[in-house]
Every structure is written in C-alpha cells, then in structure tokens.
C-alpha cells in the first residue's frame, strides 16, 4: 500500500464497469485516498467537483453531452487547484494538445497498466503536496506580517486589503500572551491552541513567549475569555502564565489588546498569585509596574517618541529595582530578536541623559530590525515569483523602491551574499529538487529553472557542486 497525504478523487467515466474497476484499483492500492466519487458524464462531473472539491479527477474524454475536455475547462474555473488525469481509448495528439492547453500533464490510454496509473497518481500527488507546501509557507509569511502590523505598527491600506482577503468575516478579536520557561515546537503550540480556541487565530513563538491573536466572525465577550485562558494554561502546564487582552471590534484597536495581554502576563509573573487573566489596571499598588511594561512595549515597537515620553513621565517614581527591570527586560527583548544591546552594562547608565540615549538607540535598533524583515519578505516573495523567468538587479531594485547600487549593498548586508549568488543558489536548489523526482530530462529542468542554454546550466551546476547535473542525478539514484 502506498501512503501519502489524504486525497479526494472523482472518477468521471460513462462506462459503469470502468468506474467500478478504477474504484477497486484505487481502494486496494492507495490507503491515502479517503473519498472516491463517481460521475457518469461531464455535467455530473462538474456538479460533483463543485460540491466536493476533489483533489484529483480521472476524466474520460469521450462522454455523452459535455465531453471530458469541456468539463475540465468548467471545473478549472470553479476549482483551479484540481488536478486531472485524462483516461481515453483514443491515442490522439489533438486530444493531448488540448489537454496541455488546460495544464493537464497526465494522459493514460485504456486499458491503463497498473504501473502507469500508480506513476501518474504519484506524480500528481507530489505536485499537489508541493503546491500545498508553497501555500502554507506563503500563508505563514503573510500571517507573520499581519501579526507584526496588528501588534506594533499603524495599519496601512495594504494591510487592510490583505487582512480582509484572509479574514473576510472578522467581527472582533483579542490577543493573549503565554509566558513559559521552555517553548514547545510550533507544531505542538498550533495543535494545543487549535484544540482550545474556538475561532481562527494567528500565532508566533520566540524564546519564552507565545503571542496569539484570535480573530472571530462574531462579537466575543470578555467574560468568556477567562475560561478559555484557564483551559489553555492547563494545556501548556502549571509553570506557564496566560495574559489576556480585552476584546476589540475595530482592527486598529487590536494593538491595545496586545499591550494589555503583555501587561497581564508581566503582572502575573511578578505577583505569582494566579496563572491566567487580564491585567489589574485598577490596582494602584502595581501602577509603577504597569508603567515599566508600557515603556518596554513602546521600546519593543520601536516607538522612540512614546518611549522617551513614558520614561520622562515616570522616571521620578522609578526605584533602582525598576531601572534594573527596564534594562534587563530590554536586553531580553533584543536577545529574542538576536539584536545587539548598545553599551556594555547597566553601570554605564548614570544620568537621565544616558538612559534617554540608551532607550532611543534601542528603539532605532528595533525599527531597523522591522524594516529589514519587511525588506527581506518583499524581496524573497518577488524572487520566488520571478526567478524562473529571469530578472535583473535593476528590476527588483525598482520593485522595492531603491536605486540599483543601494539595493545591491542592502541585499548583501541582509542576505549575506550578492543578488546574483542568491538567484543562482535558488535556481540550482530547484534544479536539484526536480532531479530527485526523475520526471524530466536535464534539458527540460534547465529551461524550467530559467536557464535557456542547457550547456551553460551544466557549467554553472558543475562550478557550484563539483560535478555535472548528470553525475549528480546518477549519484542520487545509486543510493
């Protein structure tokens, strides 16, 4: 039995015996196909494809009424991600040519041999899994950007547009922050939160902190969150704290919820009398601690003006221990982002002017860090989309709004290699991935990754890997 990602399959075939034979073959040979649907004609295939969204469709070409190719055209309109395997008794180049026009790569002549059918399904499954992986990576990148915007930065028009496309039914949301000594893997965090949060969420985890933003399609109540927080706190263990932010229905206000959750988790850790809940804003005893948290929040956001303003407004009330809290928490925040702390120790900060300068430098460092992350995200997304078609340094520099010379210097500083070296590495990595599949000739792979001269591709590959592409492929399949 062959095991891969779970799939839904539709068999579109007008001959009943052919459909049943294919169903039996798939059931016996593929444990990962959990749903098998049948359609006796093109119209029924379109209807079932719209209702059930199959991953793969075995499509007979010659069927009464709407034929297979016409059905493919309509199904692609309503379900563009669906993959097709054409099945026909006619060995016609015209059919194959029309199928290629719709992006269909698999064509099986009746009666199909077992190994041909298996090979076709495996190739299609690999293509689906690769596309899923790319979609997951793209979604993760976009959600990371959205989280950063909602937590730290004013929302621009592009952020609203992206947010609405990913969360069209948003009605209210809130942040929670989990503090614990040892953070589990992201998969474990995702699984635990999915089990206990009732609505869609985004999350990020670094060092000792998990930040989660819940986005609901209904109006949430603050009173309902405490029970959820308790359940989550129990799921992650008694040694963790879960700080809650209040519910907001305005997107611009979610940054307040993040600050509230951050304040709450800080207070919980300091007081150590409970493990989850909202911040205690009414308790005057802890007002000074709140001001420290607010200062730390503004520094982490890179808001120099607000951070200096908060420092000036509270410095007269700060005790020596609170100065230490500010310093060592800023140090921790910067270490979490792998940023260098200005100066060598807290003993250097003797005057108000020293502290203001220290806070300003830290804010600027965070600003540059966020700008660098945005730059990398924009550049890598553009490269992923265009590297196979070929691009110039000037084109991508224009895309990110920089001069070619300045872009070249910034690129090398951020990525640790030149633009040409990065593109070459990306093309060769993709070429190696395609080689391992053993589905295409080296000439085809050369064109697929953007080299229009196979001989040049071979020379570049040999220069970087000390062997020709052919030798590389031979070594893979010797293992």
Q: Locate the domains of the chain by residue range.
A: 7-132, 167-282, 284-363, 387-478
- Please give the CATH superfamily to which domain 387-478 belongs: Homeodomain-like (1.10.10.60)
List, run by run, the mean pLDDT of 10-residue segments along the chain (479 residues).
Answer: 66 89 87 86 91 89 85 88 82 63 74 80 85 78 81 76 86 93 87 89 84 91 83 89 91 86 86 81 46 82 87 83 82 80 82 91 85 76 84 82 76 84 91 86 89 89 90 75
CATH number corresponding to 167-282: 3.30.70.270
Q: What pLDDT is recorded for position 479?
A: 52
Peptide bond into 111 cis (omega under 30): yes
Class for the domain spanning 7-132: alpha beta
Please give the structure tokens belonging to residue 278: 């909202």
* Residue 282 CB coordination number (10 Å): 7
- Helices 68-78 and 93-101: crossing angle, nearest 10°? 10
Length of the chain: 479
Of 124, 3, 106, 14, the closest CA to residue 60 belongs to: 14
Of 8, 13, 112, 113, the closest CA to residue 53 belongs to: 8
- Cα separation, 337 vs 335, in Å, equals 5
- Cα separation, 43 vs 39, in Å, equals 8
Predicted structure pTM score: 0.45
Tokens 């698999």: give the residue.
106
- Cα separation, 32 vs 2, in Å, equals 7
Q: What pLDDT is recorded for position 284?
A: 35
Of 17, 1, 31, 362, the closest CA to residue 9 belongs to: 31
CB contact at 8 A, 201 and 213: yes
**428: three-class secondary structure by DSSP:** helix
Return the bridge partners of 172, or none. 216
Burial class (CB within 10 angstroms; exposed 0-12, middle 13-18, buried 19+) of 94: exposed
Burial 180-197 (b: 16+ CB within 10 A, else e): beebeeeeebeebbeebb
Q: What pLDDT is recorded for position 176?
A: 94
**60: three-class secondary structure by DSSP:** strand
């Amino acid at each position: 039995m062959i095991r891969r990602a779970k799939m839904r399959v539709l068999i579109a075939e007008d001959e009943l015996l052919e459909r049943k034979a294919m169903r039996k073959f798939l059931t016996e040979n593929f444990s990962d196909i959990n749903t098998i649907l049948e359609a006796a004609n093109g119209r029924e295939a379109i209807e079932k494809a719209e209702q059930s969204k199959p991953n793969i469709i075995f499509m007979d070409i010659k069927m009464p009424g709407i034929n297979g190719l016409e059905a493919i055209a309509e199904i692609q309109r309503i379900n563009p991600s669906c993959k097709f395997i054409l099945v026909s008794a006619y060995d016609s180049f015209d059919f194959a040519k029309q199928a290629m026009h719709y992006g269909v790569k698999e064509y099986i002549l009746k009666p199909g041999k077992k190994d041909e059918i298996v090979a076709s399904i495996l190739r299609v499954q690999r293509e689906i899994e690769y596309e899923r992986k790319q979609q997951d990576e793209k979604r993760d990148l976009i959600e990371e950007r959205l989280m950063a915007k909602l937590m730290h930065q004013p929302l621009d028009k592009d952020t609203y547009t992206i947010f609405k496309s990913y969360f069209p039914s948003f009605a209210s949301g809130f942040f929670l922050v989990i503090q614990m000594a040892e953070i589990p893997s992201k998969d474990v965090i995702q699984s635990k939160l999915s089990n206990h949060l009732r609505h869609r969420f985004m999350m990020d985890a670094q060092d000792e902190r998990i930040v989660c933003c819940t986005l609901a399609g209904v109006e949430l109540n603050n009173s309902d969150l405490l029970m959820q927080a308790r359940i989550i706190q129990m799921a992650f263990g008694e040694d963790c704290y879960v700080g809650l932010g209040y519910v907001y229905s305005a997107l611009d206000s979610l940054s307040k919820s993040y600050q509230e959750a951050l304040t709450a988790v800080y207070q919980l850790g300091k007081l150590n009398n409970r493990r989850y809940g909202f911040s205690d804003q009414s308790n005057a005893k802890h007002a000074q601690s709140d001001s420290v948290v607010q200062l730390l929040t503004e520094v982490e956001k890179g808001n120099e003006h607000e951070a200096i303003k908060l420092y000036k407004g509270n410095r007269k009330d700060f005790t020596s221990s609170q100065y230490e809290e500010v310093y060592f928490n800023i140090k921790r925040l910067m270490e979490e982002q792998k940023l260098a702390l200005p100066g060598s120790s807290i003993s250097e900060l003797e005057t108000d002017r020293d502290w203001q300068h220290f806070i300003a430098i830290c804010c600027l460092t965070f600003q540059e860090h966020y700008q660098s992350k945005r730059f990398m995200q924009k550049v890598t997304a553009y490269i992923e989309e265009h590297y196979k078609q070929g691009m110039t340094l000037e084109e991508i520099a224009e895309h990110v709004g920089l001069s070619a010379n300045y872009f070249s210097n910034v690129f090398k500083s951020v990525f640790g290699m030149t633009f040409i070296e990065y593109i070459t590495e990306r093309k060769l990595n993709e070429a190696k991935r395609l080689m391992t599949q053993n589905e295409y000739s080296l000439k085809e792979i050369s064109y697929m990754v953007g080299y229009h001269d196979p001989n040049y591709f071979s020379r570049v590959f040999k220069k970087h890997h000390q062997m020709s592409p052919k030798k590389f492929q031979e070594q893979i399949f010797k293992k």
